[in-house]
Structure 1
Amino acid sequence: MKNFKYLVLLAIFPVLMASTSAHKFYVSTTNVEYVPEKASIQIISKIFIDDIEDVLEERYGIDIHLAEKKEAEIDRSYLRKYILQKLTVFVNGKPAKLTYLGQEYETDVVKAYIEITGVKDLKSLEIENTILMDLFDDQQNILHIKTPSERRSIILKRDNPKGLLNFNR
């Protein structure tokens, strides 16, 4: 009788797991802050490590190991290269030069630090963020923009990966 219960559980288990499987949600968050005293725009992108590793491996055809003892300089280099290719910023209608400052890891998230310098006055900000969109169709990249006088948020998706904000003071 005891074995019969185990056999029934083994037979039912795959059915239960298939019916309760969760759909994974693909999202990144990017905080953009204009700091007039420093004439800079400071950007922090937070991306799930497993997602960015998947896209880097797919794109570059190599094994990537972030936030592990196996992490190599080449892994960090591909991460930097990818982020700078997938993040485009126009300040006051002109393309901005993004400086990748580095990254750090927090549990299952990589935080990439980027800066734009020489921004004395912010009138408009256009951001295109296609990070992870080349691998995940349902990827959403959330932008939180902060200036001394305003806070705004935008959700970017594959069919609309750009956001334009005008600032009137």
Structure 2
Amino acid sequence: MKFIKLAFLPLLFLVITGATAHKFYVSITKIEYVAEKESIQIITQLFVDDIEQTLRKRYRKDVSLGTKKETEADAKLLKEYILQKLTIKVNGKPVVLHYLGKEYENDLVKSYIEITGIKEFKEIEVENKVLMDVFEEQQNIIHLKSKDHRRSLILDSDNPKGLLNFD
């Protein structure tokens, strides 16, 4: 009986540590239509360690975000990467995303983006491939809010694009 207990302990250790070793890869993008400003305001939230790892694999080994080591070049890489991986069409037409800046909150980086000159919309197509080039399990959750509507999408590497229709 003692032998069985001793043999069981390493198995239990593997099960417990294996269960905590898997990481959940997710980002949240909040999109809000502000009719008074004729704009769509976007906040993309990413875990700092995930985006750093992605930027290091794609560009340079010495990228550092959210620390005193962060350089202007690091911030520029973040901006370029997000604008490359996030695309939006309003009423079937591509729109220009204006990157306004970023801020850090705990272990998150929030990037602020705006689309201007939007008087009305019937549909918004969002393609969000952020972090999908490094993490196969990545899911990008999209929440859209306007005066009359609230909708959400979950995008992944098999389906990185979604259409929200408001007819």
TM-score when scaled to structure 2? 0.90
1:119 alignment counterpart: 118
RMSD: 1.4
Q: Secondary structure at 1:20's aligned position in 2?
A: helix
d(CA) in 2 for partners of 1:95, 1:86: 14
2:41 alignment counterpart: 42
Residue type at the aligned position of 2:91: N
Deviation at 1:108, TM superposition (A): 0.1
2:154 alignment counterpart: 155
Deviation at 1:17, TM superposition (A): 4.6
Deviation at 1:61, TM superposition (A): 2.6
TM-score when scaled to structure 1? 0.89
1:143 corresponds to 2:131: no
What is the aligned-residue identity percentage? 59
Q: Per the alignment, do residues 100 and 17 of structure 1 end up closer, same or farther by CA in structure 2, a change over 3 Å counting?
A: farther
Deviation at 1:45, TM superposition (A): 0.3
Residue type at the aligned position of 2:151: R
Segments of structure 1 that go 5 or more residues without pairing to the other structure are: 1-7
Aligned length: 157
Equivalent residues in 2 for 1:1-169 (5 A)? 17-21=13-17, 22=20, 23-168=22-167
1:4 alignment counterpart: none
Structure 1 residue runs of 4 or more that deviate by more than 4 Å after TM superposition:
14-17
Segments of structure 2 that go 5 or more residues without pairing to the other structure are: 1-5
d(CA) in 2 for partners of 1:110, 1:70: 15
